[in-house]
Amino acid sequence: MVNDIPAFTPVTLLTGFLGSGKTTLLRRLLADPAFGDTAVIINELGEVGIDHLLVERLDDHMVLLKSGCVCCTVRGELAAAMRDLLSRRERGAVPPFRRLVIESTGLADPFPVLSTLKADPVLRHHFRSAGVVTTVDAVNGMLQLDRHIESVRQVAIADAIVLTKTDIAEAAVVARLVAQLGTLNPSAPLLSAAEASLDAAFLLQSGSAGGFKAIEEFTVETAAHRGISAFAIIVDEPLDWTAFGIWLTMLLNRHGERILRVKGILALAGEERPVAIHGVQHLVHAPTHLGHWPSEDHRSRVVFIVEGIEPESIRRSFATFNRLGTAKANSYLDKNQCGVSAGLAGERAPDMKAEFQRPHGRAQTINQEGRRS
C-alpha cells in the first residue's frame, strides 16, 4: 500500500463563493467510493454533516469515513495541517491517502492556497497542484460576479466549474450565467451538480484533464468583466520550446499577479505528441505530454485569463519572441531585457524556468478525456 503512494501527492482545491453549494458538493463527494484513497481538509467538520459516514474519530480535528477517506479541519495555518497529515501518513497513523482535497472559505482568493504548495520547504517536495474546482450558484451567481471580485477570480482560476442549484433556477437565468462563465473562463469544463452522473474522479484530476475541447473551440477575445478578460493565441507552425518557455517565464515573472490563468496545448518542433501547459499567476506546473491530439487541428492554442492587461500587448510580445528562436531568446534572458514589446518581458526567473524543461517520454501521459494512460 505504501509503495502505491505517489512521489508528489496531487492536491485539488475546492472553492466557490459563499452559499454556492461547496459544502453540499463536498458532502456528496465524501460518500463516493472514488474518494476512498483521498484526504480532505475542510473548514469545519460540523458544517459538512458527515456523522452518518463516520467510522472512527481519530481526534478532535480528524475523522475516518466509511469510504476510507481521511477528513480533517484546519486548526491554524494550512501548511501546518498538511504537514501533520503527511507526518501521520508516514507513521501509519492514517490510511495511505494518494490524493488531497482542500476546501477553501467562500471569500478566499484561491492563489494563496496554491502558493502554499510551492512556498513551503516541506510541502513542495511531497505535494503538487492537481487543479481548482469552483462551485457557482445558478440562482445568485450573476449577482455575485457583478458585486464581488473574489467570485470572479474563483471562476477565472478554475480548472473545472460545477454549476449548483440549477434545479431551482430559471432557465433564462442559467443561460445568462453559463454565457458569462464561458466569457470569464472559456477553457474550464462546465458541469452540473444536479446530474446524478457527476464524475468525482474527473473532478479530482480536472487540472490534468485540461479542458482542451473548450480551448479548441475558443478563438476570439472576450469582453472584459470587472477588468478580467480572456483571449487565445493560436499558432500554425510548431513552436520552439526553449523560446516559448523563456517568454512565458519572463511574462509570468513580471506580470504574474495580473495573469490569472494560462492554459494551452502546444505543437512543438521535433515532438509528435502535444504538450499541455498551465499556470496560475506566478505558479507554473510541469509540462505534460498528452496521449494524442484531441482533434484533427494540431495547431498550438494558449488561453490567457488576465486582469488589467491589454491582450494585444501579450500577443505582440509573443510574436517578438517567437521570431527570435532559441539562441536570441536565451540572449535576451541572459541580458535581463525588460523592454521586449510593450515591456511585457520581465527579469530573469531561474526557478520558474526550471518548470519548463523540455518534456521527456517518461512524463505522465494523459489522454483526451483526462484519464492517465
pLDDT digits (tens, 9 = 90+) for 255-285: 888 888 888 899 999 888 999 887 888 777 7
Mean pLDDT of 170-198: 88
Alpha-carbon Rg for the chain in angstroms: 21
Q: How far apart are CA 144 and CA 222, in angstroms?
A: 20
Domain shared by 62 and 149, yes or no: yes
CATH code, domain carrying 217: 3.30.1220.10
Per-residue model confidence as pLDDT tens digits over 50-101: 544 444 455 566 666 666 667 776 655 788 888 988 999 999 988 888 888 8
Helices vs strands, H then E, count in the chain: 13, 16
Q: Which residues of 316-334 are buried (b: 16+ CB within 10 A; e: fewer)?
A: ebbebbbebeeeebeebbe
Q: What is the DSSP letter of 225?
A: B
Are 204 and 219 contained in the same domain? no
Which pLDDT score is estimated for 226?
67
Q: How far apart are CA 255 and CA 281, in angstroms?
A: 8
pLDDT digits (tens, 9 = 90+) for 225-264: 667 888 889 999 999 888 888 888 888 888 888 888 888 8
Q: What is the mean pLDDT of residues 103-108?
A: 74
Which range in 16-25, 116-125, 132-141, 273-282 is most confidently predicted, on average pLDDT? Answer: 132-141
| Angle, alpha carbons 50-129-242 (nearest 5°) | 165
Q: Is the pLDDT of residue 210 over 50?
A: no
Q: Cα(32)–Cα(108) distance, rounded to whole angstroms?
A: 26
Mean pLDDT, the chain, as a whole number? Answer: 75
Q: Is the pLDDT of residue 29 over 90?
A: no
Name the percent of the chain lying above pLDDT 90: 18
pLDDT at residue 346 greater than cutoff 70: no
Rounded CA separation 109/97 (Å): 26
Q: Say how far apart CA 336 and CA 343 lie, in whole Å.
A: 12
CB 255 within 8 A of CB 309: yes
Residues 78-93 as b or e (16 or more Cβ within 10 Å = b): bbebbebbbebbeeee
- What's the angle, vertex CA 297, arms to CA 322 and CA 238, rounded to 5? 25
From 157, 189, 209, the end of a domain falls on: 209
- Asked if the structure places residue 158 within a domain, the reply is yes
Higher pLDDT among residues 220 and 35, named by residue:
35
| Locus of grid cell 504548495 | 117
Q: Which residue has the higher pLDDT, 41 or 299?
A: 299
Report the distance separating Cα 74 and Cα 43, nearest Å: 6
Angle between helical axes of 110-119 and 149-156 (0-180°, round to 10) = 50
- Looking at the fold, whether 205 and 296 belong to one and the same domain comes out as no
Q: Where are the alpha helices (DSSP H) in 5-100?
A: 22-30, 45-48, 78-91
Residues 66, 93: one domain? yes
Q: Is the model's pLDDT at 45 over the cut of 90?
A: no
Q: What's the pLDDT at 331?
A: 58
Domain that holds residue 297: 213-366
What is the predicted pLDDT for the residue at 213?
41
Domain check: are 151 and 90 in the same one?
yes
Whether residue 56 is found in the same domain as residue 75: yes
CATH number reported for the structural domain that contains residue 70 in this entry: 3.40.50.300
Confidence of residue 164 (pLDDT cuts 50, 70, 90): very high
Residue 371 counted as domain residue = no
Instruction: Specify the number of domains making up the chain.
Output: 2
Which among 194, 209, 224 is the end of a domain? 209
Q: 72 has which bridge partners? A: 41, 62
pLDDT at site 173? 95
Q: Are residues 165 and 227 in the same domain?
A: no
Residue 327 and residue 223 in one domain: yes
Between CA 136 and CA 115 the distance in angstroms is 23
Taking the CA of residue 147 as centre, how many other CA atoms within 13 Å lie in the half-sphere pointing to its CB? 8
Tell me the pLDDT band of 341, cut-offs 50, 70 and 90.
Answer: very low
Q: What is the pLDDT of residues 349-358, one digit of tens each?
A: 333 344 444 4
**Across residues 327-346, what is the average pLDDT?**
45
Round to whole Å and give the CA distance between 259 and 309. Answer: 8
CA-CA distance, 48 to 28, in Å (whole number)? 10
The pLDDT value recorded for residue 217 is 41
> Which of 35-39, 42-46, 194-198, 345-349 is modeled with the greatest confidence?
35-39
Q: Are residues 234 and 173 in the same domain?
A: no
Tell me which of 260 and 370 has the higher pLDDT: 260
* 117 or 127, which is more confident: 127
Answer with the one of 209, 244, 267 that is the final residue of a domain.
Answer: 209
Give the contacts of 364 (CB within 8 A, at least 6 positions apart): 208, 288, 289, 372
Closest CA to 62 of 45, 77, 50, 78: 45
Secondary structure class of 95 (helix, strand, coil): coil
Is residue 32 located within the same domain as residue 107? yes
